[in-house]
Amino acid sequence: MIRTKFYFFVLLIFIILINTIHADVVDINAKAYILMDVSTGRVLYGKNDNIKLPMASTTKIMTVILAIESGRLDEIVTISRNASIQEGSSIYLKEGEKIKLEDLLYAVMLRSGNDASVAVAEHLCGSVEKFAELMNKKAKEIGAYNTNFTNPHGLPDENHYTTAYDLGLITCYALKNNKFSEIVKTKKKTIPGPAEEDWDRVMTNKNKMLWQFDGGDGVKTGYTKKAGRCLVASATRNNWQLVSVVLNCADMWNVSSQLLEYGFNNYKKIHAIDKNVPYKHIKVQKGKKEITGVYPEDDLYIPVKINGEEEELSFKDNITMYAKAPIYENQKAGQLEVYIDNTLVGKIDLIYRENIEPTSIIYYIKKILKTL
């Protein structure tokens, strides 16, 4: 009798665990939220993710990635009066103070310094307004079409907004930059104080996910009265990174943890495309070789639901049946898209892996003339 009860108890616990692992996320009290795979941008879960909302200091994700991509991290920034008097979060920069741009980026992300954000914008573009134009241009390039920036810090402005999806897309883009990833996962950083004063700025990251969530590695907190509590969080487990975005969410830490756990427990990352396996062989017109292989430019890993979604993968390409010589190694041949249930979940460029010269005499005549 005791043994029977024991087995029943074990079975009950097992059923509860299975249901917990594969249950949908529930009771999310947020205006909008989304969960995405960083590598492909695939949306794994979300609600109201295309509603335009203020995003407070999560704005600074764009500020920092633009600064990194400028290639000017070693430049010395002179702090203007305008930067030094910014309201809200601050690292207490002083007018006339000189500080390296890279150090300012740590101040922006770890301590959410509005003064540091303005200093970065002014140094790179001459003014906040010009920098905002650059931010908007970059947003469109990334595909964040429902986003508009008016400043580099996220303080309230009617024309300053994003969506959970757009912000996730921007973050996925930024996290592929090694320097950005290094900054956002830094727990503690010391940067110089004013040169004339004998102290340094010791900054501890405000992002609790770095300590509280298994695999947590970023990204940015945000809060204003208008935007509410906002959090962009990322985590990596088994070389697989997810990002969650919650906008206007009072319980942002627990909700973000719940979203990320849901992703890791209900999806798995599969090796969908192998760069070493030819996707297709095509005929070569007027070439010294009649057939050539078309290869994926790189490996492609895609998240799929654990319940067998892998079998639903379908592939679509835009390459033709023939290629005309000359063909060059690493030349783009087309693009391969991966779908699940008619939804695009990943794409990769297709390339040639060899050089094939043409048989045309005119080609060789032109080649000889170029050397003369």
Active site residues: 57, 60, 112
Please answer whether residues 109 and 120 qualify as being in contact, where contact means their C-beta atoms are separated by less than 8 angstroms.
no
Q: Using omega within 30 degrees of 0 as the cis cutoff, is the peptide bond preceding 219 cis?
A: yes
Q: Using omega within 30 degrees of 0 as the cis cutoff, is the peptide bond preceding 326 cis?
A: yes
Please answer whether residues 338 and 272 qualify as being in contact, where contact means their C-beta atoms are separated by less than 8 angstroms.
yes
Of 185, 129, 141, give the one whose Cα is nearest residue 166.
141
β-bridge partners, 201: 191
Buried b (16+ CB within 10 A) or exposed e, 275-302: eeeebeebebeebeeeebbbbbbeebbb
Amino acid identity of 92?
Y
What count of residues does the chain have?
Answer: 372
Distance of alpha carbon 302 from alpha carbon 346, whole angstroms: 7
